[in-house]
Chain A
Amino acid sequence: MFASLSDRLTTTFKTLRGKGRLSPADVDATVRQIRLALLDADVSLPVVRAFTAAVRERALGDEVNGALNPGQQVVKIVNEELVTILGGESRRLRLAKNPPTVIMLAGLQGAGKTTLAGKLGYWLKQQGHAPVLVACDLQRPNAVTQLQVNGERAGVAVFAPEPGNGVGDPVDVARRGVEHARARGYDVVVVDTAGRLGVDADLMQQASDIRDAVQPDEVLFVLDAMIGQSAVDTAKQFDEGVSLTGVVMTKLDGDARGGAALSVVTVTGSPILFASTGEKLTDFEVFHPDRMAGRILDM
């Protein structure tokens, strides 16, 4: 749909070859093309601004000036910088020294939390763990049933003491979920929470209360790859509300460029741990920064 950065820069540099050093106008045109490519990929504006300022110098130094194909050289640099940011703090899931490990899922409505709970449960079980999923979305119609079905499909236990649909206290269920795990010997607790808006003060307080009640080892921000410019504010709000420790990108089986990955890592400083790539239990993988960078730049 949109021109890739590579195509854009080929056009920008068409007149350049053989001309020698980049003029100040070439420099501006290059930075502008990088900016547009990132914006078309849904990277948030403030993040684009910081990023282009940071690559400006490198993209316009000798490694580009001397290059046979300056356009490709700039693309290479931008790609490298993206990979560095996206994978800078790449790490594995943090497990508690004294089990159970508690993983809390948080995010906007419909991002893919409940689906992810099933996938995480399945994946953890494959890794030799004994996980339990805890149903703390007592709000969305039949969220509890949805988690129970996902747990059943994954062959993973589900702790769902309250029926939901407006009945039950999510903070209390979360606390009891961890007690339940301790009593029954489950070593990982995955806490599914209701979708909420970053601007919803009451629900963010509730999320924060859930976090305080279970002291999670990981608070994973579940993020839809299709999200646009609001990613940066939303990520900030969740980070302030529940202190995120990691990110999971969902719906990466779609054709969205997923520039929000860059936005969220930049503003929260939390690494992306996993990618969700479909509706099935097994559509789940460890996050690959290089693939994500290529995807954002459409390479």
Chain B
Amino acid sequence: LSRDTVDETTWEEVEDILIGADLGTGPSLELVDRLRARLAGEGRSDVRTVLREELVRAVDPTLDRSLAVTASTDPTTGAHRPAVVLVVGVNGVGKTTTVGKLARVLVAQDKDVVLGAADTFRAAAAEQLTTWGERVGVPTVRSETEGADPAAVAYDAVKAGVELEADVVLVDTAGRLQNKRDLMDELGKVKRVVERHGPVDEVLLVLDATTGQNGLMQARVFSEAVAVTGIVLTKLDGTAKGGIVVAVQRELGVPVKLVGLGEGADDLAPFEPEQFVDALLD
């Protein structure tokens, strides 16, 4: 990408980089068109610089990526209200691990955290979350009955958070594919039941960086079901670039807030647009 004159091979290389990073054909071709126009218009040939600029702009460094994790007081009753975070996504993307890591971050900020094991379906899901709770030193609310109502467990977790005057309640949910109507309805119910305690502050959709074009579908359907407020992009420690989030952010208007960089408790970081773009072009 460092040639003086920009030939067709270079444009193909650019297109390949973008498509290879899972940006998708539509967005990649659009971006290449815009680049071509800009370089021609400005009489420039430094493709890489302008490509980086355009990508950073597409990822939008101006978005507010902070998490709503501050406890409040109920305006009518005056009761203590912990911030409630619901973590959702398809199977195996890293929801439970993210809840564990996020709890670690919050504990490091001196917050009192309660975990809710609303995955009552998958084998040993509640045990997995409880292990994370023990690892980072926070209590986990779970049901002892296999197949218990996930909405009831989520409700109980927030109730415990209110009683313990916790700052944040993190609710882990079962993985579900977005084309399963009944499971998406179930997730909607979990959220509505939790809302009896007051509004849910964050709904984090976990997307696996290895995910291809289906990621956009996931984002759409989960957003319709539970109004996603932020994306967590996991498994960025591998070779996958997670380019699908560019289209996801644009379509949903919801920012990527956190990235997962490994399986350990400390492997969660804020999303940095410039770093993300540099890794994408690497």
Contact = CB atoms under 8 A, between A and B. Distances in A.
B168 interface: no
A171 interface: no
A257 interface: yes
Given A42-B212, A256-B214, A279 B92 contact: no
A253 to B, nearest CB: 6
A259 B16 contact: no
Given A109-B263, A146-B123, A233-B239, 20 more contacts: A42-B212, A42-B214, A45-B16, A108-B210, A109-B92, A145-B124, A145-B127, A149-B123, A153-B123, A197-B237, A197-B238, A197-B239, A224-B92, A226-B211, A228-B212, A229-B240, A253-B177, A253-B179, A254-B177, A256-B213
B179 A230 contact: no
Interface string B13-25: 0001001111011
A10 B239 CA distance: 37
Contact of A112 (B92, B178, B180): B92
A255 B25 contact: no
B214 A226 contact: yes
Interface size class of A (residues with CB under 8 A): 35 or more
Interface string A134-172: 000001111101101110010000000000010000000
Interface in B1-41: 16, 19-22, 24-25
B155 interface: no
B212 A227 contact: yes
Contact of B128 (A146, A197, A229): A146
Interface in B197-216: 208, 210-216
B131 interface: yes
A49 B161 CA distance: 55
B116 interface: no
A260 interface: yes
Contacts of A198: 238-239
Interface size class of B (residues with CB under 8 A): 35 or more
Contact of B210 (A2, A39, A224): A224
Given A142-B131, A227-B211, A108 B177 contact: no
A40 B238 contact: no
B271 interface: no
A219 interface: no
B178 A255 contact: yes
A-B pairs, top 4 by smallest CB distance, nearest first, are A228-B212, A110-B92, A42-B212, A149-B123
A183 interface: no
A110 B212 contact: no
Contacts of A153: 123
B150 interface: no
A2 to B, nearest CB: 7
Given A42-B213, A108-B238, A230-B210, A142 B127 contact: yes
Nearest to B180: A253
Nearest to A110: B92
B16 to A, nearest CB: 6
A41 B238 CA distance: 21
A234 interface: yes
Contacts of B24: 40
Contact of A259 (B90, B100, B208, B212): B212
B121 interface: yes
B140 to A, nearest CB: 12
Contacts of B94: 109-110
Given A110-B93, A146-B123, A230 B240 contact: yes
Interface string A36-67: 10011110110000000000000000000000
A141 B128 contact: yes
B208 A110 contact: yes
B235 interface: yes
Contact of A165 (B131, B177, B214, B263): B131
Contacts of B57: none
A126 B132 CA distance: 36
